[in-house]
């Protein structure tokens, strides 16, 4: 049995939405190099909707795949919906992750939450 599902390997090998948004409306960065995974999410927000999203990740296969999947799950979504995104949803969309890799999907959820926090701190009226 392979370590990862085909879905994880697909997102790992061909990550979606990789890169930087220079004039991002919100940026969230979580993790630290000590534990081995760092994710950074850049959001472009228009009409309370994620108009564009990009990510950068330092981390293992499941960290990269989780970031990629998370960006797909929130792209074009209303912020209210984005706020509801859970790591479980990310892991499920990837057809599951090995138990000891679940923390990587948690990081994806946290990176998006951190970006939203950044957005609301700049736009408290939107909350």
Q: Report yes or no: 7 and 31 within 8 Å, Cβ to Cβ.
A: no
Query: Catalytic annotation on 35?
Result: yes
Smallest separation, CB 35 to other proteins (Å): 5
Instruction: Give the residue, chosen from 15, 16, 96, 113, that forms a contact with other proteins under the rule CB under 8 A.
Output: 15
**Cα 88 to Cα 44: distance, rounded to the nearest angstrom:** 24
Taking CB under 5 A as the rule, does residue 25 contact Zn ion?
no
Nearer to other proteins, 49 or 113 (CB): 113
Dihedral pair phi/psi, residue 40, rounded to 5° = -130, 125
Shortest distance, CB of residue 101 to Zn ion, whole angstroms?
A: 6
What span, in angstroms and rounded, lies between the C-alpha atoms of 27 and 112? 8
């Amino acid at each position: 049995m392979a370590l990862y599902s085909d879905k994880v390997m697909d997102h790992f090998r061909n990550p979606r939405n990789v890169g930087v948004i220079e004039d991002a409306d919100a940026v969230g960065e979580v993790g630290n190099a000590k534990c081995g995974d760092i994710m950074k999410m850049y959001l472009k927000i228009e009409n309370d909707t994620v108009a564009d999203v990009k990510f950068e990740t330092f981390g293992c296969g499941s960290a990269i795949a989780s970031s990629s999947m998370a960006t797909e799950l929130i792209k074009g979504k209303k912020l209210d919906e984005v706020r509801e995104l859970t790591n479980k949803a990310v892991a499920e969309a990837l057809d599951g992750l090995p138990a000891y890799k679940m923390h990587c999907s948690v990081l994806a959820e946290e990176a998006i939450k951190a970006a939203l926090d950044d957005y609301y701190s700049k736009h408290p009226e939107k909350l």
